[in-house]
């Protein structure tokens, strides 16, 4: 199945598809036209071409995906607004593909890709951040259902999401990693309450989600009971690739903003600041080329721990660059556009004002695995260094101090 499809084959299929489905009419029409076009694209296997046939793909190599995306963009076709459905595309879909049943794959993947159904991720809890496997949200079996009680936090898009991927504790009497199971939760079900969580930028990208007797049918469990930790690894590896892993040109992203600020403000230049700007420019270009190389490696296989390197350097750089920008701008950098509590559906790290960038970047080394946890992952999984002595892995979860 792998990579029998050539680039020429793919282009021929796309041309045939575009001849039958007018991209301009779909883009210019209403939501129904747009959706019809996206559904047809999915059904033709031209959505994510490395997925299997019948699930929006053609079983082609991952490296052909940009060919499809570029061809549709050039034709002026409507896209699925990927910035709005990043969690679905980047995390839920690969997990459902690997661990889902046939029924789950055919139910969830098509509306996920077209953007009809938005997804969110219910992993972190107030008492389980870096120590995700210590989470306490309980799922108790009741007939054909599971009954959920607990609190989740840092959930972006929860207020508009139809579905959530959720990790819950199904057995508190075994050590923590062994007692977890992985579910798909209907966010419209009774007992699911979403509250905005205001962050230090002033807005609320994220939410808290309270689960009070919410029910999940057993048919919406992903993987076996007790295998939740294993299933979650697929999600987390893909998350680290999707944060900070996007392709961009030289001076794309945050460094472009700093470089423009340098060029536009000759009056504020100092030798010390110049050195800072040049050091950051080099590190940003090195990180960009690393992303390019990691994607070339990915084209050949699945995401590995290299994604952790990309995410770690992205976090460090975005913080250093945004801090340098405030230093460079001086007084002007202290003027914010607003402290109003918006609820943005798409986050633009380079958008808004310099103060926003500085503040938002503080989240980059916390969300999706703190930089400290990523360093442990690299040290242990890549370099093979021994783990710190652990006190929490052989004890029943219910007996751990908390």
Partner 1 sequence: MSDLVLVSSADEQDLRSGVRDMLAAECTGQSVLAFVSSGADAYDAKLWRTVATGMGLAALLVPEAQGGAGAQYRAAAVVAEELGRAVAPVPFLSSAVVATTALGSSASHELLGRLASGELTASLAVPYGLWSAPPLLSAQYGAVTGSVRGVADALGADVLLVPADDGLYAVESAAARRTRIPSLDETRPLCDLELSEAPARLVAPLAAVPRALRVAAVMVAAEQVGVASWCLDTTVAYLKERYQFGRPVGSFQALKHRLADLWVELTQARAVVAYAVADLAAGGDDASVAASLAKIVGSEVAVRAAEECVQMHGGIGFTWEHPAHLYLKRAKATSVAYGSPDRHRARLATLVDLPLEAS
Asked whether position 290 contacts partner 1 by CB under 8 A, the answer is: yes
Q: Total residues at the site for partner 1 (CB under 8 A)?
A: 46
Asked whether position 140 contacts partner 1 by CB under 8 A, the answer is: no
Select from 289, 302, 334, 341 the one that contacts partner 1 (CB under 8 A). 289
Asked whether position 301 contacts partner 1 by CB under 8 A, the answer is: no
Q: Which is nearer to partner 1, 174 or 373 (CB)?
A: 373
Select from 30, 271, 301, 401 the one that contacts partner 1 (CB under 8 A). 271
Q: Which is nearer to partner 1, 271 or 401 (CB)?
A: 271
* SS3 annotation, the chain: CCCCCCHHHHHHHHHHHHHHCCHHHHHHCCHHHHHHHHHHHHHCCCCCCCCCECCCECCCCHHHHHHHHHHHHHCCCCCCCCCCCHHHHHHHHHHHHHHCCHHHHHHHHHHHHHCCCCEEEECCECCECCCHHHCCCEEEEECCEEEEEEEEECCCCCCCCCEEEEEEECCCCCEHHHHEEEEEEECCCCCEEEEEECCCCCCCCEEEEEEEEEEEEHHHEECCCCCHHHHHHHHHHHHHHHCCCCCCCCCCCHHHHHHHHHHHCHHHCCHHHHHHHHHHHHHHHHHHHHHHHHHHHHCCCCCCCHHHHHHHHHHHHHHHHHHHHHHHHHHHHHCCCCCCCCCCCCCCCCCCCHHHHHHHHHHHHCCCCCHHHHHHHHHHHHCCCCCCCCCCCCCEHHHCCC
Asked whether position 383 contacts partner 1 by CB under 8 A, the answer is: yes
For the question of residue 20 being annotated catalytic, the response is no
**Site stretch for partner 1 (CB under 8 A), options 72-80, 88-96, 318-326, 367-375:** 367-375
Asked whether position 325 contacts partner 1 by CB under 8 A, the answer is: no
Asked whether position 293 contacts partner 1 by CB under 8 A, the answer is: yes
Which among 125, 203, 208, 239 is annotated as catalytic? 239
Select from 7, 70, 348, 372 the one that contacts partner 1 (CB under 8 A). 372
Asked whether position 389 contacts partner 1 by CB under 8 A, the answer is: yes
What's the min distance (Å) between Cβ of 242 and partner 1? 18
Residues that bind partner 1 (CB under 8 A): 247, 259, 262-263, 266-267, 269, 271, 274-275, 277-279, 281-283, 285-287, 289-290, 292-294, 296-297, 300, 306, 309, 312-313, 372, 374-376, 378-380, 382-389
Residues annotated as catalytic are 239
């Amino acid at each position: 199945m792998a990579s029998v499809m050539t680039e020429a084959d793919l282009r021929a299929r796309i041309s045939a598809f575009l001849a039958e489905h007018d991209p301009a009419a779909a883009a210019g029409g209403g939501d129904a036209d747009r959706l019809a076009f996206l559904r047809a694209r999915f059904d033709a296997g031209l959505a994510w071409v490395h997925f299997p046939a019948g699930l929006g793909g053609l079983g082609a190599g991952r490296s052909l995906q940009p060919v499809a995306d570029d061809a549709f963009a050039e034709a002026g076709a409507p896209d699925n607004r990927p910035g709005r459905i990043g969690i679905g595309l980047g995390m839920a879909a690969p997990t459902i593909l690997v661990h889902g049943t046939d029924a789950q794959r055919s139910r969830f993947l098509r509306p996920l890709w077209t953007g009809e159904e938005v997804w969110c991720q219910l992993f972190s809890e107030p008492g389980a951040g870096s120590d995700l496997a210590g989470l306490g949200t309980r799922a108790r079996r009741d007939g054909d259902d599971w009954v959920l009680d607990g609190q989740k936090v840092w959930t972006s898009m929860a207020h508009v999401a139809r579905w959530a991927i959720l990790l819950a504790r199904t057995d508190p009497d075994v050590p923590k990693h062994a007692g977890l199971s992985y579910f798909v939760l209907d966010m419209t079900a009774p007992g699911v309450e979403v509250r905005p969580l205001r962050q230090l930028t002033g807005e609320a990208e994220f939410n808290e989600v309270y689960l009070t007797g919410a029910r999940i049918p057993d048919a919406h469990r992903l993987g076996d009971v007790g295998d939740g930790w294993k299933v979650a690894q697929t999600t987390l590896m893909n998350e680290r690739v999707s944060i900070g892993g996007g392709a961009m040109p030289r001076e794309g992203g945050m460094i472009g903003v700093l470089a423009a600020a340098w060029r536009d403000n000759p009056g504020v230049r100092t030798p010390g600041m110049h050195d800072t700007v040049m050091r950051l420019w080099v590190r940003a270009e090195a990180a960009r080329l690393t992303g390019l190389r990691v994607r070339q490696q990915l084209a050949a296989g699945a995401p590995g721990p290299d994604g952790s390197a990309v995410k770690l350097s992205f976090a460090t750089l975005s913080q250093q660059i945004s801090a340098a920008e405030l230093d460079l701008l001086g007084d002007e950098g202290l003027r914010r556009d607003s402290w109003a509590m918006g609820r943005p559906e798409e986050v633009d790290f380079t958008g808004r004002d310099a103060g926003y960038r500085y503040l938002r970047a503080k989240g980059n080394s916390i969300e999706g695995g703190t930089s400290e946890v990523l360093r442990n992952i690299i040290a242990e999984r890549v370099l093979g260094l021994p783990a710190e002595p652990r006190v929490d892995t052989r004890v029943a979860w219910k007996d751990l101090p908390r």
